[in-house]
């Protein structure tokens, strides 16, 4: 993934979504439109909503380029068969045959092999 792809395909759409969401909250805050956000157990809906608006300005749901590259690599490894996967039916079958402690022990041994690489 190039830096240009990362910025145009991940960061900009994430920013636009965040800004759109923040603008909607701000517009509702300015027009005192709290009904769809009201919490019946709240002392002050307006105060709670105002606090939520300021918190939402700090939300940042953009993943790093390195994380996305690693995630895409894992997806391609799974698709190519390089990484071993477990079908859900097999996992559920194991759960039904063994007590939960035995299943956790089997999985922890398998996880330990992964970390010992």
73/96 same-domain check: no
Please write the tens of the pLDDT for every residue from 92-114: 777 677 666 666 776 676 666 66
Please write the tens of the pLDDT for every residue from 7-62: 888 888 888 888 888 888 888 878 877 776 666 676 777 777 777 777 777 776 77
58/80 same-domain check: yes
Backbone angles phi, psi at 68, to 5 degrees: -65, -40
Give pTM, 2 decimals: 0.48
Domain count, the chain: 2
50/17 same-domain check: yes
* pLDDT for the residue 80: 92
CA distances from residue 38 to 10, 23, 31, 47, 48 in whole angstroms, order as listed: 32, 18, 14, 11, 9
Domain coverage including residue 77:
3-85
Torsion of CA 48, 54, 56, 60, to 10 degrees: -150
Residues with Cβ within 8 Å of 50's Cβ and at least 6 positions away in sequence, in order, are: 29
3-state SS, residue 23:
helix
55/93 same-domain check: no
Q: In the structure, what pLDDT confidence band is assigned to residue 3 with cuts at 50, 70 and 90?
A: confident
């Amino acid at each position: 993934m190039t830096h240009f792809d990362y910025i145009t395909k991940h960061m900009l759409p994430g920013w636009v979504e965040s800004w759109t969401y923040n603008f909607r909250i701000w517009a509702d805050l300015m027009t005192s439109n709290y009904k769809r956000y009201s919490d019946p157990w709240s002392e002050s809906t307006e105060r709670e909503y105002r606090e939520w608006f300021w918190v939402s300005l700090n939300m940042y749901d953009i993943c790093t380029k390195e994380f996305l590259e690693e995630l895409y690599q894992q997806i391609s490894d799974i698709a190519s068969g390089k990484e071993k996967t477990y079908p859900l039916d097999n996992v559920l079958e194991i759960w039904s045959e063994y007590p939960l402690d035995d299943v956790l022990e089997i999985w922890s041994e398998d996880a330990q092999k992964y970390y010992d690489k």
